[in-house]
Structure 1
Amino acid sequence: MEADFMQRIIVGVTGASGTIYAIDLLKKLAAIPDVETHLVLSQWAKQNLALETTLTLTQVKKLATVTYHNNDLGAAIASGSFLNDGMVIVPASMKTVAGIASGYGDNLISRAADVALKEQRKLIIVPRETPLSVLHLENLTKLARLGVQIIPPIPSFYDHPTEIQDLVNHQTMKLLDALAIANHAAPRWQGNGVTQ
Protein backbone atom coordinates (compact mmCIF):
# COMPACT_ATOMS: atom_id res chain seq x y z
CA MET A 1 0.00 0.00 0.00
CA GLU A 2 1.06 3.61 -0.48
CA ALA A 3 2.80 5.32 2.44
CA ASP A 4 -0.01 7.89 2.80
CA PHE A 5 -2.48 5.19 3.85
CA MET A 6 -2.94 3.82 7.33
CA GLN A 7 -2.18 0.14 7.69
CA ARG A 8 -5.39 -1.80 7.16
CA ILE A 9 -5.68 -5.19 8.84
CA ILE A 10 -8.66 -7.51 8.42
CA VAL A 11 -9.42 -9.71 11.43
CA GLY A 12 -11.75 -12.67 11.04
CA VAL A 13 -12.93 -14.50 14.17
CA THR A 14 -14.52 -17.93 13.73
CA GLY A 15 -16.19 -20.41 16.04
CA ALA A 16 -13.14 -22.32 17.23
CA SER A 17 -12.17 -22.01 20.88
CA GLY A 18 -9.65 -19.26 21.55
CA THR A 19 -11.55 -15.99 21.20
CA ILE A 20 -9.08 -14.55 23.72
CA TYR A 21 -6.41 -14.53 21.00
CA ALA A 22 -8.57 -12.38 18.73
CA ILE A 23 -9.42 -9.96 21.53
CA ASP A 24 -5.79 -9.52 22.50
CA LEU A 25 -4.76 -8.89 18.89
CA LEU A 26 -7.55 -6.33 18.49
CA LYS A 27 -6.54 -4.56 21.72
CA LYS A 28 -2.92 -4.31 20.67
CA LEU A 29 -3.79 -3.14 17.15
CA ALA A 30 -6.20 -0.54 18.58
CA ALA A 31 -3.33 0.91 20.61
CA ILE A 32 -1.36 1.66 17.42
CA PRO A 33 -2.46 5.02 15.97
CA ASP A 34 -1.70 4.28 12.30
CA VAL A 35 -3.50 0.92 12.12
CA GLU A 36 -7.07 0.53 10.91
CA THR A 37 -8.82 -2.76 11.72
CA HIS A 38 -11.70 -4.37 9.85
CA LEU A 39 -13.46 -6.99 11.96
CA VAL A 40 -15.77 -9.88 11.06
CA LEU A 41 -17.12 -12.37 13.62
CA SER A 42 -18.92 -15.54 12.65
CA GLN A 43 -22.10 -16.48 14.48
CA TRP A 44 -20.27 -19.18 16.45
CA ALA A 45 -17.50 -16.72 17.30
CA LYS A 46 -20.15 -14.59 18.97
CA GLN A 47 -21.32 -17.64 20.92
CA ASN A 48 -17.76 -18.39 22.02
CA LEU A 49 -17.26 -14.79 23.07
CA ALA A 50 -20.05 -15.25 25.61
CA LEU A 51 -18.78 -18.68 26.68
CA GLU A 52 -15.09 -17.87 27.00
CA THR A 53 -14.92 -14.21 28.06
CA THR A 54 -16.71 -11.58 30.12
CA LEU A 55 -16.74 -9.08 27.24
CA THR A 56 -19.88 -8.16 25.35
CA LEU A 57 -20.11 -8.12 21.57
CA THR A 58 -20.43 -4.32 21.71
CA GLN A 59 -17.18 -4.04 23.68
CA VAL A 60 -15.32 -6.20 21.17
CA LYS A 61 -16.71 -4.29 18.20
CA LYS A 62 -15.44 -1.05 19.77
CA LEU A 63 -11.89 -2.42 19.53
CA ALA A 64 -12.12 -2.33 15.73
CA THR A 65 -12.26 0.60 13.34
CA VAL A 66 -14.93 -1.02 11.16
CA THR A 67 -17.07 -4.12 11.71
CA TYR A 68 -19.04 -6.20 9.23
CA HIS A 69 -21.70 -8.89 9.39
CA ASN A 70 -20.39 -12.26 8.24
CA ASN A 71 -23.26 -12.60 5.74
CA ASP A 72 -22.46 -9.28 4.05
CA LEU A 73 -20.79 -10.43 0.85
CA GLY A 74 -21.15 -6.90 -0.51
CA ALA A 75 -18.84 -5.47 2.17
CA ALA A 76 -15.73 -3.52 1.18
CA ILE A 77 -13.37 -6.31 2.26
CA ALA A 78 -15.10 -8.74 -0.15
CA SER A 79 -13.49 -6.94 -3.08
CA GLY A 80 -9.94 -7.12 -4.36
CA SER A 81 -10.08 -3.36 -4.95
CA PHE A 82 -10.13 -2.82 -1.18
CA LEU A 83 -6.44 -2.29 -0.42
CA ASN A 84 -5.17 -3.78 2.82
CA ASP A 85 -1.99 -4.98 4.47
CA GLY A 86 -3.14 -8.44 5.49
CA MET A 87 -5.80 -10.62 7.01
CA VAL A 88 -5.64 -12.71 10.17
CA ILE A 89 -8.21 -15.40 10.97
CA VAL A 90 -7.94 -15.96 14.71
CA PRO A 91 -9.02 -18.45 15.85
CA ALA A 92 -9.65 -20.41 12.65
CA SER A 93 -12.06 -23.33 12.77
CA MET A 94 -11.39 -26.37 10.61
CA LYS A 95 -14.65 -25.62 8.78
CA THR A 96 -13.30 -22.21 7.79
CA VAL A 97 -9.92 -23.70 6.84
CA ALA A 98 -11.67 -26.28 4.65
CA GLY A 99 -13.79 -23.61 3.01
CA ILE A 100 -10.79 -21.43 2.18
CA ALA A 101 -8.74 -24.39 0.95
CA SER A 102 -11.53 -25.34 -1.46
CA GLY A 103 -12.31 -21.78 -2.56
CA TYR A 104 -15.79 -21.89 -1.04
CA GLY A 105 -16.46 -18.29 -0.06
CA ASP A 106 -19.97 -18.66 1.35
CA ASN A 107 -19.50 -16.00 4.04
CA LEU A 108 -17.52 -12.80 4.42
CA ILE A 109 -14.60 -14.33 6.33
CA SER A 110 -14.07 -17.02 3.68
CA ARG A 111 -14.62 -14.54 0.84
CA ALA A 112 -12.13 -12.02 2.27
CA ALA A 113 -9.60 -14.84 2.65
CA ASP A 114 -10.25 -15.91 -0.94
CA VAL A 115 -9.61 -12.32 -2.03
CA ALA A 116 -6.32 -12.30 -0.11
CA LEU A 117 -5.28 -15.45 -1.97
CA LYS A 118 -6.24 -14.22 -5.43
CA GLU A 119 -4.64 -10.82 -4.85
CA GLN A 120 -1.55 -12.50 -3.34
CA ARG A 121 -1.86 -10.52 -0.12
CA LYS A 122 -0.78 -11.63 3.33
CA LEU A 123 -3.12 -14.19 4.89
CA ILE A 124 -2.46 -15.58 8.36
CA ILE A 125 -4.42 -18.44 9.87
CA VAL A 126 -4.41 -19.38 13.56
CA PRO A 127 -5.85 -22.92 13.56
CA ARG A 128 -7.40 -24.03 16.84
CA GLU A 129 -8.03 -27.75 16.82
CA THR A 130 -6.46 -30.82 18.38
CA PRO A 131 -5.80 -33.52 17.50
CA LEU A 132 -5.51 -32.69 13.83
CA SER A 133 -6.83 -35.25 11.36
CA VAL A 134 -5.12 -36.00 8.06
CA LEU A 135 -7.84 -33.97 6.36
CA HIS A 136 -7.10 -30.96 8.59
CA LEU A 137 -3.38 -31.29 7.87
CA GLU A 138 -3.96 -31.62 4.14
CA ASN A 139 -6.11 -28.46 4.09
CA LEU A 140 -3.52 -26.51 6.11
CA THR A 141 -0.70 -27.82 3.92
CA LYS A 142 -2.58 -26.80 0.77
CA LEU A 143 -2.99 -23.28 2.16
CA ALA A 144 0.66 -23.11 3.25
CA ARG A 145 1.71 -24.04 -0.30
CA LEU A 146 -0.41 -21.12 -1.53
CA GLY A 147 1.56 -18.75 0.70
CA VAL A 148 -0.73 -18.64 3.73
CA GLN A 149 1.16 -18.31 6.99
CA ILE A 150 -0.04 -20.86 9.54
CA ILE A 151 0.60 -19.70 13.12
CA PRO A 152 -1.02 -22.08 15.62
CA PRO A 153 -1.27 -20.85 19.21
CA ILE A 154 1.60 -22.87 20.65
CA PRO A 155 2.98 -21.45 23.92
CA SER A 156 6.64 -20.87 24.66
CA PHE A 157 8.12 -21.46 28.09
CA TYR A 158 11.61 -19.96 27.76
CA ASP A 159 10.17 -16.67 29.04
CA HIS A 160 8.74 -18.37 32.17
CA PRO A 161 5.04 -17.42 31.77
CA THR A 162 3.18 -17.10 35.06
CA GLU A 163 -0.35 -16.45 33.81
CA ILE A 164 -2.55 -17.10 30.80
CA GLN A 165 -2.06 -13.54 29.53
CA ASP A 166 1.68 -14.22 29.17
CA LEU A 167 0.89 -17.08 26.78
CA VAL A 168 -1.60 -14.96 24.86
CA ASN A 169 0.92 -12.11 24.60
CA HIS A 170 3.45 -14.46 23.01
CA GLN A 171 0.93 -15.51 20.36
CA THR A 172 -0.01 -11.90 19.62
CA MET A 173 3.68 -11.03 19.26
CA LYS A 174 3.98 -13.74 16.60
CA LEU A 175 0.96 -12.37 14.73
CA LEU A 176 2.17 -8.77 14.86
CA ASP A 177 5.61 -9.89 13.69
CA ALA A 178 4.01 -11.70 10.74
CA LEU A 179 2.12 -8.50 9.88
CA ALA A 180 5.46 -6.59 10.03
CA ILE A 181 4.14 -4.42 12.87
CA ALA A 182 6.80 -3.43 15.40
CA ASN A 183 5.82 -4.51 18.89
CA HIS A 184 6.92 -5.43 22.40
CA ALA A 185 3.97 -7.70 23.13
CA ALA A 186 6.11 -10.37 24.82
CA PRO A 187 9.71 -11.08 25.86
CA ARG A 188 11.99 -12.18 23.03
CA TRP A 189 14.70 -14.81 23.05
CA GLN A 190 18.15 -13.21 23.17
CA GLY A 191 20.24 -16.39 23.28
CA ASN A 192 21.92 -18.29 26.10
CA GLY A 193 18.74 -18.48 28.14
CA VAL A 194 18.16 -14.72 28.18
CA THR A 195 14.85 -13.04 27.26
CA GLN A 196 14.23 -9.38 26.76
Structure 2
Amino acid sequence: MTDSTMSTTPDTMWEVRLAKHLKGDLGTDTFDLVQVPTPEPVTGEVLVRTDYLGLSVAYLEMLRADSRLPIPPWEVGQRIGGGAVGTVVRSISADLAVGDQVRTMAGWCEYSAGSADRYPKLDPDLFPSPVHYLSQGPPPTTGCPRSPRPVPAMSSSSPARRAASGRWPDRSPSAGAPRR
Protein backbone atom coordinates (compact mmCIF):
# COMPACT_ATOMS: atom_id res chain seq x y z
CA MET A 1 0.00 0.00 0.00
CA THR A 2 1.43 3.32 -1.01
CA ASP A 3 0.48 6.87 -0.17
CA SER A 4 -0.84 8.37 -3.40
CA THR A 5 -1.98 11.96 -3.81
CA MET A 6 -4.05 13.63 -6.57
CA SER A 7 -2.65 17.10 -5.96
CA THR A 8 -1.49 19.22 -3.11
CA THR A 9 -4.16 19.90 -0.55
CA PRO A 10 -4.36 23.09 1.48
CA ASP A 11 -3.22 23.15 5.10
CA THR A 12 -6.61 24.53 6.13
CA MET A 13 -10.17 24.00 4.95
CA TRP A 14 -13.64 25.43 5.53
CA GLU A 15 -16.51 23.78 7.35
CA VAL A 16 -20.00 24.96 8.30
CA ARG A 17 -20.98 24.69 11.94
CA LEU A 18 -24.23 25.34 13.75
CA ALA A 19 -23.97 28.75 15.44
CA LYS A 20 -27.32 28.56 17.22
CA HIS A 21 -30.39 26.37 17.20
CA LEU A 22 -33.06 27.56 14.82
CA LYS A 23 -35.97 29.52 16.29
CA GLY A 24 -38.18 31.15 13.71
CA ASP A 25 -36.74 31.94 10.30
CA LEU A 26 -33.54 30.49 8.93
CA GLY A 27 -30.80 33.08 8.45
CA THR A 28 -27.07 33.30 7.90
CA ASP A 29 -26.64 33.86 11.66
CA THR A 30 -27.69 30.21 12.15
CA PHE A 31 -24.31 29.10 10.76
CA ASP A 32 -20.63 29.75 11.31
CA LEU A 33 -18.09 29.34 8.51
CA VAL A 34 -14.94 28.15 10.26
CA GLN A 35 -11.43 27.59 8.94
CA VAL A 36 -9.86 24.46 10.44
CA PRO A 37 -6.78 22.29 9.71
CA THR A 38 -7.24 19.89 6.79
CA PRO A 39 -7.28 16.35 8.22
CA GLU A 40 -4.34 14.06 7.48
CA PRO A 41 -5.19 10.45 6.65
CA VAL A 42 -3.21 7.62 8.26
CA THR A 43 -2.70 4.03 7.11
CA GLY A 44 -5.98 2.54 5.87
CA GLU A 45 -7.58 5.96 5.42
CA VAL A 46 -8.39 8.37 2.60
CA LEU A 47 -8.72 12.13 2.24
CA VAL A 48 -11.85 13.12 0.32
CA ARG A 49 -12.63 16.49 -1.28
CA THR A 50 -16.33 17.33 -1.07
CA ASP A 51 -17.74 17.98 -4.55
CA TYR A 52 -21.52 17.97 -3.91
CA LEU A 53 -23.57 18.41 -0.73
CA GLY A 54 -26.99 16.92 -0.18
CA LEU A 55 -29.82 19.08 1.13
CA SER A 56 -33.03 17.84 2.66
CA VAL A 57 -36.05 19.51 4.18
CA ALA A 58 -35.40 17.34 7.25
CA TYR A 59 -32.28 19.44 7.89
CA LEU A 60 -34.54 22.30 9.03
CA GLU A 61 -35.79 20.06 11.80
CA MET A 62 -32.24 18.96 12.70
CA LEU A 63 -31.34 22.64 13.25
CA ARG A 64 -33.94 22.95 16.03
CA ALA A 65 -33.16 22.08 19.66
CA ASP A 66 -36.68 20.64 19.98
CA SER A 67 -36.45 18.50 16.82
CA ARG A 68 -39.37 16.11 16.39
CA LEU A 69 -37.26 13.61 14.45
CA PRO A 70 -36.31 10.29 16.08
CA ILE A 71 -32.62 11.27 16.00
CA PRO A 72 -30.83 13.91 18.07
CA PRO A 73 -30.60 17.43 16.60
CA TRP A 74 -27.29 18.92 15.55
CA GLU A 75 -25.31 20.46 18.37
CA VAL A 76 -24.28 24.11 18.51
CA GLY A 77 -20.61 24.47 17.61
CA GLN A 78 -20.51 21.20 15.67
CA ARG A 79 -20.21 20.66 11.91
CA ILE A 80 -23.54 20.39 10.08
CA GLY A 81 -24.05 16.75 9.10
CA GLY A 82 -25.46 15.24 5.97
CA GLY A 83 -24.63 13.35 2.84
CA ALA A 84 -22.09 14.36 0.26
CA VAL A 85 -20.35 13.07 -2.84
CA GLY A 86 -16.64 13.59 -3.11
CA THR A 87 -13.41 12.57 -4.79
CA VAL A 88 -10.55 10.74 -3.12
CA VAL A 89 -7.56 13.11 -3.31
CA ARG A 90 -5.20 11.13 -1.10
CA SER A 91 -5.23 7.41 -0.33
CA ILE A 92 -3.27 5.31 2.12
CA SER A 93 -5.62 2.39 1.54
CA ALA A 94 -5.73 -0.52 -0.88
CA ASP A 95 -9.53 -0.21 -1.04
CA LEU A 96 -9.83 3.21 -2.71
CA ALA A 97 -7.65 4.94 -5.29
CA VAL A 98 -7.03 8.60 -5.90
CA GLY A 99 -9.75 9.84 -8.25
CA ASP A 100 -12.46 7.43 -7.02
CA GLN A 101 -15.84 9.06 -6.43
CA VAL A 102 -17.31 8.22 -3.04
CA ARG A 103 -20.31 8.96 -0.86
CA THR A 104 -19.80 10.30 2.65
CA MET A 105 -21.81 11.45 5.63
CA ALA A 106 -18.99 13.76 6.80
CA GLY A 107 -21.22 16.81 6.46
CA TRP A 108 -20.64 20.34 5.30
CA CYS A 109 -16.88 20.57 4.90
CA GLU A 110 -14.33 20.96 2.13
CA TYR A 111 -12.39 17.81 3.03
CA SER A 112 -12.87 14.81 5.27
CA ALA A 113 -10.63 11.90 6.20
CA GLY A 114 -11.38 8.50 7.60
CA SER A 115 -11.25 4.77 7.15
CA ALA A 116 -11.80 3.77 3.52
CA ASP A 117 -14.74 1.55 4.54
CA ARG A 118 -16.65 4.69 5.61
CA TYR A 119 -16.60 5.94 2.01
CA PRO A 120 -18.60 3.71 -0.35
CA LYS A 121 -17.21 3.85 -3.88
CA LEU A 122 -19.68 5.08 -6.50
CA ASP A 123 -20.19 3.71 -9.98
CA PRO A 124 -19.60 6.69 -12.31
CA ASP A 125 -21.61 5.04 -15.11
CA LEU A 126 -24.75 4.24 -13.09
CA PHE A 127 -26.31 7.74 -13.20
CA PRO A 128 -25.92 10.69 -15.57
CA SER A 129 -24.52 12.81 -12.71
CA PRO A 130 -23.04 12.04 -9.30
CA VAL A 131 -25.67 14.26 -7.66
CA HIS A 132 -28.18 11.46 -8.26
CA TYR A 133 -26.48 9.59 -5.41
CA LEU A 134 -27.70 12.33 -3.06
CA SER A 135 -31.37 11.86 -3.91
CA GLN A 136 -33.78 9.64 -2.03
CA GLY A 137 -33.89 7.34 -5.03
CA PRO A 138 -35.77 7.09 -8.27
CA PRO A 139 -39.56 7.54 -8.25
CA PRO A 140 -41.51 4.33 -7.61
CA THR A 141 -42.79 4.27 -11.20
CA THR A 142 -39.29 4.03 -12.70
CA GLY A 143 -39.08 0.92 -14.83
CA CYS A 144 -42.83 0.27 -14.66
CA PRO A 145 -44.92 -0.16 -17.80
CA ARG A 146 -46.94 2.86 -18.83
CA SER A 147 -50.13 1.39 -17.43
CA PRO A 148 -51.07 -1.99 -16.06
CA ARG A 149 -52.93 -4.44 -18.23
CA PRO A 150 -56.65 -4.64 -17.39
CA VAL A 151 -57.75 -7.59 -15.29
CA PRO A 152 -60.98 -9.35 -16.26
CA ALA A 153 -64.00 -8.45 -14.12
CA MET A 154 -64.43 -10.52 -10.98
CA SER A 155 -67.63 -11.65 -9.39
CA SER A 156 -66.68 -10.65 -5.82
CA SER A 157 -67.59 -7.22 -4.56
CA SER A 158 -64.68 -7.00 -2.09
CA PRO A 159 -62.67 -3.75 -2.26
CA ALA A 160 -59.49 -5.69 -3.07
CA ARG A 161 -61.10 -7.43 -6.03
CA ARG A 162 -62.67 -4.19 -7.28
CA ALA A 163 -59.28 -2.49 -7.04
CA ALA A 164 -57.61 -5.31 -8.96
CA SER A 165 -60.24 -5.15 -11.67
CA GLY A 166 -60.34 -1.37 -11.88
CA ARG A 167 -64.06 -1.42 -11.07
CA TRP A 168 -64.70 1.11 -8.35
CA PRO A 169 -68.22 2.51 -7.89
CA ASP A 170 -68.62 5.84 -9.67
CA ARG A 171 -65.02 5.81 -10.87
CA SER A 172 -65.37 4.21 -14.26
CA PRO A 173 -64.46 6.43 -17.20
CA SER A 174 -68.14 6.74 -18.08
CA ALA A 175 -69.19 7.72 -14.56
CA GLY A 176 -67.36 11.08 -14.55
CA ALA A 177 -65.86 12.52 -11.41
CA PRO A 178 -66.27 10.64 -8.13
CA ARG A 179 -69.01 11.73 -5.76
CA ARG A 180 -68.04 13.82 -2.76
TM over 0.5: no
Query: Which of these two proteins has the greater Rg computed from alpha carbons?
Result: 2
Higher strand share: 2
The two structures have a TM-score, normalised by structure 1, of 0.23
